[in-house]
Structure 1
């Protein structure tokens, strides 16, 4: 490659305010007319949304590209002169921003996206997913791009570079990393609780009837006079974390509390958990800005089963550590949560429990509990592995930018190697 980019202090994963230092090397083998040589450091979010319903053939695709930031330097500006064969070098240095540049008004504020100015820079991301309605391809990339341009010939001359090279960088914001010293140190401030009160009325609550089935005559009597039946109340509480760390155990607890003051029986009956289910809903969302074809957005949900048990027959009373009772609750590695102009990645925890008490079945459903998925601060590079697989091949370079948009202070003199 006639032009190469090498990083001096390359890291597996960058964060906001990290410095990036390197050198651009241009090997000119023959006399060549050069307009300029430049290096660009940029972040962009690209999405493609495609309809998949009602047609066997692929429907029209709606695309969007949002520049999260862009920093450009002119390394050399021969202005069309012929450059002698030689090897040239230039140092460069950039600082990773921690927030996006303000976007144009074409990005309205719509959940689950965000359009507020200077919101946190999203992590490196790449995903392809679909359902019966939409097919989504989403990419958030950060890259160093070196380009060599020839003089433009004519008004309609080509603006593509003569030579170019791209190096992509992994980025994970500090806000998306949670410091954990051990699996038992999960911050209690992140624990939330959902609860439900259950009221049981049954003749089987009486001590002499426990352990047997009601006869038909007793069932009819219960249907005709429900207000005269013995009653018992208990509360089921589910505790869960609003923040999760990739690949670490999820601390979830079930608490069963009898309310004897609201009950007509003298002692609490047996409460048996028959089944439970805990799952995670991963939502990937993308949108295309208004264009000649209009606008389109899509959201695709994927479910990951964390724990599922049936026919348990497990007596429950008091606080139950579900991880201790059924083994560590984990989800497979996935991307951290984020929201930006045209792409978002969010998570929802869902849980369901079935109890049997005095011949009555009660269901405790807790759907759509928003949670935030963070990276382990000790291993941030895992958050960007899917991105590296997705970009095995380089993409086309961006179009030529007018030199009038650059400050003259960015022009430097080449250094011969």
Structure 2
């Protein structure tokens, strides 16, 4: 290549505030007219939101491009002179920012996106995803680009560079890296959801346990339910609000009997018949208002973590799901973030079905938000599915992930 970009001691992943040094080399075997030679360091977030219609109808695409920052330098300015054959070299130096250096009033404040000035830079990101309503393509790219421009001939002369070379840099912000040792144990990030169940049944009596009610007894129970024995218990699901990429989810189920409020002398057996734990990752994208209007959309991907049925498993006290069923690990995925036109968020979905005294009760928790962080101590080993997507790239394949399309589609 006549033009090369060399970064000295290039890091496998940057987190902000680093100094990036390198050199630009230009080789020409013959005399050439040069206007100038430039180097640009930039971050850009691009999104395409496409409405999905019938196969016979054309689709409409809404695009957005947001420059997160841009720093440029003119390394040489011959101003159209002819330079002799040879090898030319220039050093360069940039500071990697940790916040966006531009803001635009055209991006309204709307969760899960961010429009506040100087918010943290989003991580390197690339994804294609779709559901029945929309197709979404997103890229967040950080690059150093060298360009050689020839003199412009005439008013409609060539404006594209004569030569161009790009080096892309992987970035995960420091704000998206979790230092567990510094911030405390994982217990500090635990959240919980609970539900109280009130059971009334003749089967709660010691002499009736283990048998089925006769028809006459069922009819009697329907007409005199307030006189039946009562048992109250609480089911609590404890889950993390912060998770490090590719590490198991620490999830706990707690069963607490309320004997003081129950009319039975001893707690009956509670069986866990089925359970399901899944992660919903949501990719959001939006296009700014244009002649065609504005468009936003979110696509969910459901990643099954644990699914068991017909268990008949007695549960009481504290049940660590990892100890009972193995580590709850899901595929390598991206950290949580939001910026002007792209976002990635996560929710936990959990469901439990209990059986007690011939009755079933369900604990359904469909949308528990949590954040995914990168490992603070091992930035070079941070897993990522990020690859630069061209217009013709196909979506990345997701193993062990079943798809659930929900989300919304808004147009103004």
- Taking structure 2 as the reference length, the TM-score comes to 0.92
Superposition deviation, residue 31 in structure 1:
1.6
2:404 maps to none
Structure 1 ranges of 4+ moved more than 6 A:
391-394
Report the Cα distance in structure 2 between the residues aligned to 1:115 and 1:232, rounded to whole angstroms: 51
Equivalent position SS for 1:261: coil
Report the Cα distance in structure 2 between the residues aligned to 1:177 and 1:293, rounded to whole angstroms: 39
8 Å contact from structure 1 (residues 234, 259) kept in 2: yes
Q: Please say if 1:313 is aligned against 2:278.
A: no
8 Å contact from structure 1 (residues 286, 344) kept in 2: yes
1:287 maps to 286
2:146 maps to 146
8 Å contact from structure 2 (residues 271, 356) kept in 1: yes
Superposition deviation, residue 383 in structure 1:
4.7
Question: 1:83-104, CA deviations, whole angstroms, 9 ceiling, x for partnerless residues?
Answer: 1212111000111100002321
Equivalent position SS for 2:386: helix
Report the Cα distance in structure 2 between the residues aligned to 1:388 and 1:381, rounded to whole angstroms: 16
1:155 maps to 155
- Taking structure 1 as the reference length, the TM-score comes to 0.91
2:360 maps to 361
* Runs (5+) with no aligned partner, structure 2: 394-412
1:13-412 alignment runs, 5 A limit: 13-180=13-180, 186-381=185-380, 383=382, 385-388=384-387, 390=389
Superposition deviation, residue 57 in structure 1:
4.5
Report the Cα distance in structure 2 between the residues aligned to 1:137 and 1:122, rounded to whole angstroms: 16
Question: 1:99-122, CA deviations, whole angstroms, 9 ceiling, x for partnerless residues?
Answer: 002321111111211100000000
Report the Cα distance in structure 2 between the residues aligned to 1:151 and 1:100, rounded to whole angstroms: 33
Superposition deviation, residue 318 in structure 1:
0.3
What is the aligned-residue RMSD (CA, Å)? 1.7
Alignment CA distance shift 1:146-1:392 (3 Å): farther
Equivalent position SS for 2:290: coil
Report the Cα distance in structure 2 between the residues aligned to 1:381 and 1:135, rounded to whole angstroms: 32
8 Å contact from structure 1 (residues 284, 345) kept in 2: yes
Superposition deviation, residue 382 in structure 1:
5.2
Equivalent position SS for 2:275: strand
Report the Cα distance in structure 2 between the residues aligned to 1:239 and 1:188, rounded to whole angstroms: 10
Question: 1:331-370, CA deviations, whole angstroms, 9 ceiling, x for partnerless residues?
Answer: 1111111100000000000100000011110000111100
Equivalent pairs counted in the alignment come to 391
8 Å contact from structure 2 (residues 333, 384) kept in 1: no
Question: 1:3-59, CA deviations, whole angstroms, 9 ceiling, x for partnerless residues?
Answer: 110011111111110111100001122222111111000000001111113444550
8 Å contact from structure 1 (residues 44, 65) kept in 2: yes
Equivalent position SS for 1:289: strand
Superposition deviation, residue 390 in structure 1:
3.8
Superposition deviation, residue 145 in structure 1:
0.4
The range that moved more, 243-252 or 343-352, is: 243-252
Alignment CA distance shift 1:389-1:148 (3 Å): closer
Question: 1:243-277, CA deviations, whole angstroms, 9 ceiling, x for partnerless residues?
Answer: 01111111100000000111011111111110000
Superposition deviation, residue 186 in structure 1:
4.6
Equivalent position SS for 2:40: strand
Question: 1:296-321, CA deviations, whole angstroms, 9 ceiling, x for partnerless residues?
Answer: 11110000000000000011110111
Report the Cα distance in structure 2 between the residues aligned to 1:102 and 1:91, rounded to whole angstroms: 26
Report the Cα distance in structure 2 between the residues aligned to 1:58 and 1:334, rounded to whole angstroms: 33
Report the Cα distance in structure 2 between the residues aligned to 1:248 and 1:361, rounded to whole angstroms: 33
1:11 maps to 11
Report the Cα distance in structure 2 between the residues aligned to 1:212 and 1:336, rounded to whole angstroms: 51
Report the Cα distance in structure 2 between the residues aligned to 1:61 and 1:195, rounded to whole angstroms: 43
Alignment CA distance shift 1:319-1:384 (3 Å): closer
Alignment CA distance shift 1:392-1:290 (3 Å): closer
Equivalent position SS for 2:211: coil
